[in-house]
Amino acid sequence: MRSLDSALVILSATVLLVAAVEIATFAGIDGPLVGVAVSTVAGGLVYAASGLIAWWRRPSNRLGLIMVMGAVIWLLNALAFSARPVLAAVGVVTATLPLAVIVHLLLVFPSGWLRSALARWTVIAGYAVCLVLQIPLYLWSPDASPHGMLAVADRPRLVTIGSWVQIGTGMCVMVITAVILSVRFRRASARRGVLGPLYLYGVAVVLVVPLVPELSRFTTQFGDVASDATQLGLLVMAPILFALAMMRGGFARTAELEQLGEWLGSPVGDRPDLNAALAKALGDDSVQLSYWLGDGGGYVDAEGRALDPARTDTAHGPAEIRVGGHRVGAIFYDENLIADQELVRSAGRVIAIAVDQQRLTVQLRASRRALQQSRARIVEASDRERRRIAQNLHDGLQAELVLLSVEAQRLAAAEHTTTPEERTQAAERLRWRIDHAAAGLRDLVYAVMPAPLIEQGLGPAIEDLVDRMPVPTKLEMSVNGNLPEAVQATAYFVIAEALNNAARHAHARHIRTRLMDRDGVLLLEVDDDGIGNAHPSGGFGLTGLQDRVAVLGGTLRIDSPVDRGTHITAELPCPLTSET
């Protein structure tokens, strides 16, 4: 950085010296042209100052370098006012190059790089229009250069044709530039408030500046001087706006290694948030530092909240952060703002150790958050189940019992008004309805806690469940009978929910169920050949199972690719209970 500072100071002094010498060559100019000539040099100094500041603030961003190159072009352009014919000829040759510089700045902003082949060819075409198509304007016009030193003939018609060809080709270049910028603007998720006005200004300047001389003839009475002043004013504002836009809120910082190094070296209590420091260093406020939890935890933020790696609002990374070959996190960033991926990876390498250390804290936060959410879901599921039972009792069994009571009273009152045969038939109907109500009650109890599970244990309960399946189901089971009741209940409901989903929702034709306890862990597997695409977020069932399994310290994994069936695996710690 010290070497860069010294180089920029030397470059600044050189530009000032060249500008002073150039102004000295204007000694023989009289009238208003002196002001225009000096203003052109001043414009070059504005380009130089803006470029040097941007270069200093963003060393690896080429935007500053391009603005310094623009300053050189402006100083060459100002030579057109020199009293020395040879120098003035240089100014004539480079007369329209400032327009190509603006096209170049527009297409490299804000990353400093031309990100596509179309952008690169458009910039090349812009410089060709300003250099190659400028040739007919002075080659066949003796008045265009001092003493006609660049002219080979006087052909006004060819000059007119060449001028229109240059304008038409330049318009095509600007149309392509506008299309590229509009696509970038549409894809940008952030900084639209900066990109939009800057793009509009740049396109408008390049389109309007060549037409200013023609427009001034109809709208002013000041002739060429007013026209030149208007063009200078429009063009000089460009580097200032580009430099301010690049540094306003930050675009693609390049001192990120130094800044993040300072963050790592500062006392812990004085450190800013790592994500904020990273966003400031990279110049992208949409940067999201994430931590990798693994084991199905995925990416989470610093508070332990899950992130969606496929963020659809813009084209984001992520750039993975690794320590010792193991993934510890990632940086999500806007590729429209930071085109240099190596820049982001470098920043990731700088903070990799800090991310790995913070990952433990984030993992604890994520676990606490998951526990809180799981508890809330369990409470919600319990309340929902109680409401379901109450609703079933009220709408089903209670209503049935009321009707049975009325029927019993009617049967008792009809003892002396009906024949014994009629009373027998009524009693049989009443008995049938009582049996039906009892069956409904048994079904309700079975749904809450199946009788085979309570009376016989997990193995017979699973066999009974499989026997009642409407889809061919193969069962493989090797389970010890002395499992804790909580483990048995959880295992039963995991199998029941998986079988129910396979038969009702996945439209499976075959199902395989496997239970095995080994080394103190009960392994449950349910495979089907259905439509797949099962996910816990699709309803309460699988989410509730995950919560029940998590309460016991187990894991539940769901592999369900579309049209390739579903594979559900659960592992439950199951210390054996002593027999009584």
185 contacts: CB under 8 Å, gap ≥ 6: 192, 195, 196, 199
**The predicted structure's pLDDT at residue 267:** 57
Percent with pLDDT over 70 in the chain: 71
Q: Are 477 and 462 in contact (CB under 8 A)?
A: yes
Closest CA to 334 of 115, 179, 63, 67: 115
Model confidence over 568-579: pLDDT tens digits? 898 888 765 544
Q: Helix, strand or coil for residue 462?
A: helix
Instruction: Give the bridge partners for 524, in sequence order.
Output: 515, 570
Strand duo 288-292 + 299-300: pairing: antiparallel
Regions of the chain with pLDDT less than 70: 1-2, 27-32, 60, 188-194, 212-228, 246-272, 283-284, 294-297, 304, 308-317, 336-340, 342, 363-399, 411, 413, 415-417, 441-449, 451, 481, 535-544, 575-580
Closest CA to 206 of 134, 105, 300, 318: 105
Runs of H (alpha helix) within 450-570 = 451-456, 458-467, 485-504, 540-551
Q: Both ends of the chain: CA-CA distance in Å?
A: 78
Q: Is 513 exposed, middle or buried (0-12, 13-18, 19+ CB in 10 A)?
A: buried
Q: Is the peptide bond before 575 cis (omega within 30 degrees of 0)?
A: no
312 contacts: CB under 8 Å, gap ≥ 6: none
Closest CA to 344 of 417, 281, 285: 281
**The predicted structure's pLDDT at residue 513:** 92
**The predicted structure's pLDDT at residue 249:** 42
**The predicted structure's pLDDT at residue 128:** 93
What is the Cα–Cα distance from 220 to 227, expressed in whole angstroms?
9
Residue 247 carries which DSSP code? H
In what side-by-side order are the strands of the sheet with 319-323? 299-300, 288-292, 326-332, 319-323
Taking only Cα atoms into account, the Rg of the chain, rounded to an integer number of angstroms, comes to 40
DSSP 196-234: HHHHHHHHHHHHHGGGHHHHHHHH-SSHHHHHHHHHHHH
Q: How far is CA 225 from CA 22, 161, 212, 221, 369, in A?
A: 20, 25, 11, 10, 70
- Please compute, for residue 511, the number of CA atoms within 13 A of its CA located in the half-sphere on the CB side: 28
**The predicted structure's pLDDT at residue 355:** 76
